[in-house]
Structure 1
């Protein structure tokens, strides 16, 4: 199975996952931006500051970073309900979820989207080729 490069599909994948997990509004922004590879080294505060207007919309005297952190926790709870195993971790859960999305969910999604190409040969074909080469070398 040949998966497409995650980096090439990341934006479409994250948007599709936001839809699948029913994230909208602020939660959709937080989900997509927190799990983007380009934000892997960013802290929650810097992402929250960048999206401050969107995060504070409809609130009175809110703090963007607090909203971001609280909603990210709820997002991780939702991902846990859908199979992400945090192994009891309480800190850095988004990093565990990011790995789970990339390593477990992305391959499933890529298959669903028809983005996975079959290997050039089946295992049986490769085995037959190997046997033929082994037989040829016995003749020497």
Structure 2
């Protein structure tokens, strides 16, 4: 019987394009299936929540990290969890929070979802590994 791969959770604390943390986390996650592993959840915390900004529009000669996170979600069926407290203070709102705060449109869209630190604790307890990518 072949050994079963590990299930990972990642915590990303670095903003895209200004630090290496988010790009390193993404490349790590994208490489896992080739080794027989998978990412179950990615938790974006502190400035890492900017990875979920729906209006991100990088130049054509730079990697489009938002689209790559979405592709990772599609391929590995992982959760893309965004710390609600970190997100709201940085202006990243889903439809519900945008309405609650009197804004006309959201700046965070599915498959990213606002959640609390309890989801991070759940990931730490239920998956084989939790790896943090910080600046």
The TM tier, using the shorter chain, reads under 0.3
Max Rg structure: 1
Larger helix proportion of the pair:
1
Name the TM-score, length of structure 1 as normaliser: 0.26
Larger strand proportion of the pair:
2
Name the TM-score, length of structure 2 as normaliser: 0.26
